[in-house]
Amino acid sequence: MASQDSTMTKNFLTVSNIVNEGIKGSKISKLGLSKYLSQSLAQLETTSISSPQAKSPASSSAGAAAGASTTAGERTPTAHNKQLQNVKGQDHPPHPSMAFLQNRSISLVDMYIDNSEPSENVGQIHFSLEYDFQNTTLILKIIQGKELPAKDLSGTSDPYVRVTLLPDKKHRLETKIKRRTLNPRWNETFYFEGFPIQKLQSRVLHLHVFDYDRFSRDDSIGEVFLPLCQVDLSEKPSFWKALKPPAKDKCGELLTSLCYHPSNSVLTLTLLKARNLKAKDINGKSDPYVKVWLQFGDKRIEKRKTAVFKCTLNPVFNDSFSFNVPWEKIRECSLDVQVMDFDNIGRNELIGRILLAGKNGSGATETKHWQDMITKPRQTIVQWHRLKPE
C-alpha cells in the first residue's frame, strides 16, 4: 500500500509540473490543461489501485481513425462505419510518468495556436461540435461557408471542405462539392469514433476549404485550425471562424543547378541544398528528401530520388541526376522536382515543389533557369527556387 501511495504521489507531481510549464509558457489554455489534469489523475489512481494483470477498457477496445460522413440528422449505421474504424489502434492508457505524451501534446497544440487576424479576407466557415460520452465519439457538423472568394472565371467557386484530426494526416474526410456558389450550405455530419475525451485533448481539428477544378489541381481557399483542448465539448459549441489563406510562401527554398551537354545529350540536375523548409512533424522538423520526374508534356518518363535526411529543415543533398534528352527534345521536356517529408507511419507528404521547364514552368525563375541552361550549353547554371505548395 505504501508503494502504491508513493507511485501516485510521483505521478501527481509529474502531471502537475507539466501543467504548470504549459500555463507559464502560454502554450495551452488553462481550461484545457485543467481538464486533462483531472482526467489523467483519475486514470493514474485507477492504474495504481487495480491489479497489474487487469486490462482496462481503453486498452482492450479498438480505436478509430475517423468515422464516415452522413447527411445531417441521420447517423451512419455502425456496420458502415467499421470500414473506417480500427485503422490505427487507440492509444494505451497513459504510462504513470505521462511526461513524454503530455509534452508531445503541448508541442502539437502550440504549433497551431494562432490568434492573429487573417492577412486577407477569404470568407468564413460555420460548424459545430458535440461529444457522445457513452460511445466516445466526436461529432462534427459542417454547416455552411460565407463570402468565399471567386476562383473560377465565372465569378464563382465550387467549394468543398477537407477534414482531418491532426496529427493524423493519413485519414481525411470531405464534404460534397457545392457548385457555382460563394455561400455554400453543406449541412453534413462526420463521426470520429473511438476517441476518449482525454485523447482529443492532444488533437487539432483542421478544416481546409478548396475550390474543385475538373481539369487541374483544386485551389486552396482557406483553412481553420482548432486545438480541441480549447473547446468545452460538453457545451455543444457552434463556431463562425474566419478562414485564413494558405501559407503560400512558407514552403522553403531549394538550391539547384542545371547543365546540358548537346554532344552526348545529357541533362544533369544537381540538388545542392534546401533552407527554411516547412515543418511537417510535431517536433517542429521534417524528414526531407527530393523526388524528381523527367516529363515530356504530361507524360512522366523517369523518376529519381535522394536519400532521406532526418529531423532537419535545412538539408544538404549534394546529389546529381543525369537524364538522356536529345537536343531536339530539350525544349519540350521538364523536371518536376518535389521536396517530400518522409513518414514511417502514414504516407509521405509534399513540402513543396517546382517545375523546371522552358515553357510553362512553375514560375518565372524556373523558366529562366531552363532557358539559361539551353543558351549556355556545357555550363553549370545555379539558382535558388522558392518551393510552391501543392
Under 8 Å CB-to-CB from 209, ≥6 apart: which residues? 123, 125, 145, 148, 159, 160, 161, 162, 220, 221, 222, 223, 243
Q: pLDDT by residue (tens digit) across 171-229?
A: 889 999 999 999 999 999 999 999 999 999 999 999 999 999 887 778 889 999 999 99
- Listing DSSP states for 259-300 in one string gives EEETTTTEEEEEEEEEESPPP-STTS---EEEEEEEEETTEE
Pick from 184, 216, 242: which residue ends a domain?
242
Whether cis (ω within 30° of 0) applies to the bond prior to 167 is yes
3-class secondary structure per residue, 148-206? CCCCCCCCCCCEEEEEEEECEEEEEEECCCCCCCCCCEEEEEEEEECCCHHHHCCCEEE
pLDDT band at 119 (very low <50, low <70, confident <90, very high): low
Q: Is residue 44 part of a domain?
A: no
Instruction: Look at the chain and report how many structural domains it folds into.
Output: 2
Q: Is the pLDDT of residue 337 over 90?
A: yes
pLDDT band at 93 (very low <50, low <70, confident <90, very high): very low
Q: Is the pLDDT of residue 43 over 60?
A: no
Residue 128 · residue 237 · CB < 8 Å:
yes
Q: Is residue 259 part of a domain?
A: yes
CB count in 10 Å sphere of residue 154:
9
- Distance, CA of 349 to chain centre: 8
Residue 94 · residue 48 · CB < 8 Å:
no
Q: Are 124 and 168 found together in one domain?
A: yes
Residue 229 · residue 201 · CB < 8 Å:
yes
Q: Is residue 126 part of a domain?
A: yes
At 123 the three-state DSSP class reads coil
Q: Is residue 6 part of a domain?
A: no
Q: Measure the CA–CA gap between 269 and 266, rounded to whole angstroms.
A: 10
The closest of 196, 221, 195 to 208, measured between CA atoms, is 221
- Quote the percentage of the chain above a pLDDT of 90: 54
Q: Is residue 117 part of a domain?
A: yes
Pick from 242, 272, 292: which residue ends a domain?
242
Q: Are 261 and 234 found together in one domain?
A: no
Q: Is residue 215 part of a domain?
A: yes
pLDDT band at 53 (very low <50, low <70, confident <90, very high): very low
Q: Are 268 and 229 found together in one domain?
A: no
In eight-state DSSP terms, residue 374 is H
Q: Is the pLDDT of residue 96 over 60?
A: no
What's 208's domain CATH number? 2.60.40.150
Q: Are 298 and 335 found together in one domain?
A: yes
| Predicted local confidence at residue 50, as pLDDT | 42
Pick from 208, 242, 276: which residue ends a domain?
242
| Predicted local confidence at residue 113, as pLDDT | 57
Q: Are 177 and 263 found together in one domain?
A: no
Q: Is the pLDDT of residue 60 over 50?
A: no
Q: Are 273 and 356 found together in one domain?
A: yes
Q: Are 318 and 361 found together in one domain?
A: yes
Q: Is residue 115 part of a domain?
A: yes
Q: Which pTM value belongs to this model? A: 0.46
Q: Is residue 177 part of a domain?
A: yes
| Predicted local confidence at residue 57, as pLDDT | 30
| Predicted local confidence at residue 247, as pLDDT | 62
Under 8 Å CB-to-CB from 157, ≥6 apart: which residues? 148, 149, 150, 151, 180, 181, 182, 211, 221
Structural domain boundaries, residue 332: 253-386
